[in-house]
Structure 1
Amino acid sequence: MTLIRKLPQAERALLKRLGEVADDRGISLSLVGGVVRDLLLKRKTWDLDLTADEDGIAFAKAIVHRYGGSVVLFERFQTARIVFPDGKKVDITTARRESYRSPAALPNVSAGSLDDDLYRRDFTINAMAISLNAVTFGDLYDPFGGRKDLRSGIIRVLHAGSFIDDPTRIFRAIRFTRRFGFRLERRSATLLNRAAATNMVQRLSGPRLCREILLLLGDASPEKSIETLDRLHLMRFLSRGLSYGQEARRIVRNLNKALQWWRKRFPNRPIDQPMAYLAAVLTGMHTSVVKSVIRRLQLPLAQSDILEWSGSARDRIMRSVSSKSDLRPSQVYHLLEKAPDECIAGLLAGALAHRPGSVVRRLVIARLSRFLQRDRDVTTSITGDDLKRLGLPAGPRFRIILRQIRDAKIDGRIANRPAELELARRLVNRTISRGAVADRAPVFQTSRSTRTGQHG
């Protein structure tokens, strides 16, 4: 009962009720997986995964019938996910054994015992269970020495074929060693190195590989894990052309500081940390390499956009914002207006990689800070209706003139609606007098006077 008491009262009460239903149906029910490990480590992770020694799906349906909620079935893996009316989620699995028809394939599943179910797991520290039945409620079941390995700070696989059967465990082992400050048990380390040297990871589907990479990059301070991926040559499975260069290393080493800076100032604008780190790893890579990573991981459009900014576009922007020449705030705005936040965080990390007090560091941080905290949100009161009233026919010139007005406001040359209207009048008159209004869209070309900030 001691471990169960570490759970919040609501979770304890829920598990007790589920154990009572299991007793009524003659089912042996256990809490399993990472939550057991985290209870022993005194870490707060309340993902509730249960294993039933009989039909877990039928048991889940009975729970929903009694207590309400909804259930989602994953019949291939004999698993059901319950979402209770209060939003709590519980996964219930039939105790099962697994076999693999070939390396890296999804497993074939058949009914088994609790021991079978624990033996199929990745590491001993994740192969423990806590009984939820009334007579043994709270008792720890640890057939493979997981508790001892936790105390010793060891990651150990349960059998010699573990990394070959499921190469995602290679990435999980790296992630857990860094997350918990553990080390791989000697035999397990040998098995991992051998598996990493094969091409088994290449057999993983894009989504399976993507999930493990993003989980690894989502941990707190994943820099050491990234170094391990590089040392084991595992980045080749993202793209054969991917190399972890010096500039990328500098950005990765400083990205955590940049993300802390960001979270402190923009708590309501969260960064996708895994994608920020992946973009940092790809710093300096050719567009073809970036696109091959996107294809390999089968990334959706929003995440693909983040990575596409990590290559040549990022290098071009960094050269501009770190330039010692005069750069108007509106020019910085145009460089960054479409850049994903994750890439702006990467630019900040690049600045932090320079020594404190250096000109480049001060320039880049000042320019990025102004854009993020002020200029990005600048708007004008002028609309297309105003331009129509000033005599400008509808057309592509609307966008150009509205942009010039916003630029002037960003640069501090106008500050209120009367000034905006006066500038709009000048730009409209100039456009009309030069005959720039035509049936076809004109080529965008900013006049010399506009570039220098002088109007009229």
Structure 2
Amino acid sequence: MEKRKKLLNKLLNSKAEEYFSFNNKIIKVNNLIESDFKKLGQKTKNQIEADYLIIENEVYFNKQSSSLAQSKLNFLHKVKAGEHHLTAHNTLLYKNLSLDLNKALDLLEKYKKNKHQQASFLHYDSDLLDYLPQQRRKLLLKLAKEASLLGYNLYLVGGQVRDLLINIPLNKDLDILLEGDLKKFFVHLENKYGYQYDYNNKFSTGFLHNQYGFSIDIASCREEKYHFPGSLPLVEKADLFSDLFRRDFTINTLVIDLNPGRSGILYDFFGALNDLKNGILKVMHDYSFRDDPLRILRGIRFQILKDFKLSSKTIEISQRSLRNYDYHKLAIERVFTELSYLFKSKQDLSQFASVLLKEIPVLKLIKSDFEFSSSQKSNFLRAEKLLAQSRENSLGVNHFLVRLMILFYNSKESLIKSWPLSTLEKKIFVNKIWENIDFSIFEIKDPALKYRRLEFFKKEELIMFASLNFESDYIEEIFKHLKRRETLKIPISGHDLLDLGVKQGPEIKKYLLEVRDQILRHQIENREEALTYLKKIL
């Protein structure tokens, strides 16, 4: 949580502005932190009305109010009714930043209905773009300039903004929103710069190829409608506000304006900065998980891997959605793609089993009758300890497969084979060879013979055996073997055996293994000793 301070606090403690257009004039609203707001009220001896002040025709709000959305509604209704007569601001200067008052009222009602009590339309005049690497910043501003030539608006949204604010190392994934015709924008870029692109007309999304190695996803601002729970959406063009409202969590709704004249302005419409600081994941609306249950998995991943915590309301909605909606039409490939982001992680996932699976039965998306037993929990937690040990020793164990096998241990073969796994992964899972590992292997005194018996098994099979038979002696022997498997080198090759007169064929492998046996028995330590040994036995 310490890293969520410097840049984030700078913004949270600064003033934010809003602009509303009504009757051909622009109304400017100042949003202050609570302490500054109260000081202003005391200094001017003005009465605070519903968390806002009007001083010499300037409007001030307490942006930290827990009922900010309602306070804004009260204020805007009074403006509309003519109860507040405010000085108009420069129309040209604020025109592109302003929101129609009636639309603002509709949006705030919608946001408040979905429990976004701190919703507003906050604009932070920030220097956030200066924190981006230079090459990335230059490219984004170049694209925004080209969009503006077509009369379009361009925004940076999502993970890049979020991670920038909490000081997480930035990846090369750039999610960009366009208010405009995406196909025309791509054609414009191709004609002017020769940029190649992929365009999906159905979803109004595209990928812009570039020479810098960035993964640039651009989408037209859009709304989504779902025919049934978990279906792919029908997409309709919309504005920035509608696009942000359809997203998963508030922390992913922060936007940096890229447009000339407004570049660097940060928009926070849902109190996302506060949620970022507090490490809270709040779902955007009550039907978010009904529409796309994969957002539940995404939220769990954020909680485990990025140090966030699902809000109680978000947990409640996820539970209700998994209980009430039928997701059997949800494409299993989509579930596994999202699950793999979590299960391939080289971090400890104990929290997934110890807390979240009991609280949120999300694996019902894979197997509708999935039940999480106490023995599964124990085995999963044991497996996490073994996977951590495998990471410490750089053993290259398939974390995704081990975690999947532990959780779905007794699933039918037909189900496993229907999953989007590799042929080898399915074979390992279905055959369960670890169940046939003879305990007597670990009592073998000859290290060479023990090695030969254990090398028959894949790394994941040995980890599964150790998870289900969690005995220190077995674990020690298995990791000793796996580490040896990674480091053991035979100092001679088939070419040496050919030079010694051995014919090409299975005899080559036989003698190489003989040398390896002697190395394991500590009888051979180098190439010279290996060649001397071979000359004796040939």
With the length of structure 1 as denominator, give the TM-score of the two structures. 0.76
Distance 1:337 1:23 in 2: 63
Correspondent of 1:191 among 305, 308, 317:
317
Distance 2:370 2:455 in 1: 26
Distance 1:141 1:318 in 2: 62
Does the CA contact (< 8 Å) of 1:57 and 1:94 recur in 2? no
Correspondent of 1:363 among 470, 477, 482:
477
Distance 2:353 2:507 in 1: 48
Work out whether 1:234 is the aligned partner of 2:353. Answer: no
- Residue equivalent to 1:210: 336
Correspondent of 1:312 among 414, 432, 441:
432
Amino acid aligned to 2:361: H
Work out whether 1:11 is the aligned partner of 2:136. Answer: yes
Distance 1:9 1:344 in 2: 48
- Residue equivalent to 1:95: 221
Amino acid aligned to 2:530: N
For the aligned residue pairs, the C-alpha RMSD in angstroms reads 3.5
Distance 1:29 1:327 in 2: 68
Query: 1:406 Cα deviation (Å)?
Result: 5.6
Q: 1:119 to 1:307 in 2, by over 3 A?
A: same
- Residue equivalent to 2:404: 278
Residues 300-332 of structure 1, C-alpha deviations (whole Å, 9 max, x = no match): 324434534xx63234348455x2342533442
Query: 1:17 Cα deviation (Å)?
Result: 1.1
Please give the secondary structure, in 1, of the residue aligned with 2:296: helix
Distance 1:362 1:385 in 2: 35
- Residue equivalent to 2:162: 37
Does the CA contact (< 8 Å) of 2:289 and 2:296 recur in 1? yes
Q: 1:66 to 1:102 in 2, by over 3 A?
A: same
Correspondent of 2:445 among 326, 334, 348:
326
Correspondent of 2:268 among 130, 134, 142:
142
Does the CA contact (< 8 Å) of 1:124 and 1:156 recur in 2? yes
Distance 2:191 2:424 in 1: 39
Does the CA contact (< 8 Å) of 2:383 and 2:464 recur in 1? yes
Work out whether 1:420 is the aligned partner of 2:534. Answer: yes
Distance 1:373 1:26 in 2: 61
Amino acid aligned to 1:326: K
Does the CA contact (< 8 Å) of 2:290 and 2:325 recur in 1? no
Q: 1:305 to 1:327 in 2, by over 3 A?
A: farther
Distance 1:320 1:189 in 2: 47
- Residue equivalent to 2:490: 378
Query: 1:13 Cα deviation (Å)?
Result: 1.3
**Which 5+ residue runs of structure 1 have no aligned equivalent?**
426-456
Distance 1:416 1:152 in 2: 63
Distance 1:403 1:242 in 2: 48
Distance 1:277 1:64 in 2: 45
Amino acid aligned to 2:360: L
**Pairs within 5 Å for 1:160-309:** 160-198=286-324, 200-219=326-345, 220-227=347-354, 228-239=356-367, 249-250=377-378, 252-253=380-381, 255=383, 258-259=386-387, 261-263=389-391, 265-266=393-394, 270-282=396-408, 285-286=409-410, 289=412, 292-295=415-418, 297-305=419-427, 307-308=429-430
Query: 1:56 Cα deviation (Å)?
Result: 1.7
Query: 1:196 Cα deviation (Å)?
Result: 2.0
Distance 1:242 1:191 in 2: 19
Does the CA contact (< 8 Å) of 2:303 and 2:309 recur in 1? yes
Query: 1:194 Cα deviation (Å)?
Result: 1.1
Amino acid aligned to 1:105: S
Distance 2:414 2:439 in 1: 23
Query: 1:349 Cα deviation (Å)?
Result: 6.8
Residues 207-242 of structure 1, C-alpha deviations (whole Å, 9 max, x = no match): 111012111223432221244235433334434686
- Residue equivalent to 2:46: none
- Residue equivalent to 1:49: 175
Distance 2:438 2:152 in 1: 62
Q: 1:226 to 1:14 in 2, by over 3 A?
A: farther
Of 327-336 and 122-131, the range deviating more from structure 2:
327-336
Q: 1:313 to 1:130 in 2, by over 3 A?
A: same
Does the CA contact (< 8 Å) of 1:77 and 1:109 recur in 2? yes
Amino acid aligned to 2:271: G
Query: 1:388 Cα deviation (Å)?
Result: 12
Distance 1:14 1:318 in 2: 60
Please give the secondary structure, in 2, of the residue aligned with 1:97: strand
Q: Which has the higher strand share?
A: 2
- Residue equivalent to 2:118: none
Query: 1:371 Cα deviation (Å)?
Result: 2.6
Of 142-151 and 298-307, the range deviating more from structure 2:
298-307
Residues matched between the structures, number: 405
Query: 1:334 Cα deviation (Å)?
Result: 4.3
Does the CA contact (< 8 Å) of 2:454 and 2:481 recur in 1? no
Query: 1:53 Cα deviation (Å)?
Result: 0.7
- Residue equivalent to 2:189: 63
With the length of structure 2 as denominator, give the TM-score of the two structures. 0.65
Does the CA contact (< 8 Å) of 1:132 and 1:138 recur in 2? yes
Query: 1:180 Cα deviation (Å)?
Result: 3.5
Query: 1:77 Cα deviation (Å)?
Result: 1.3
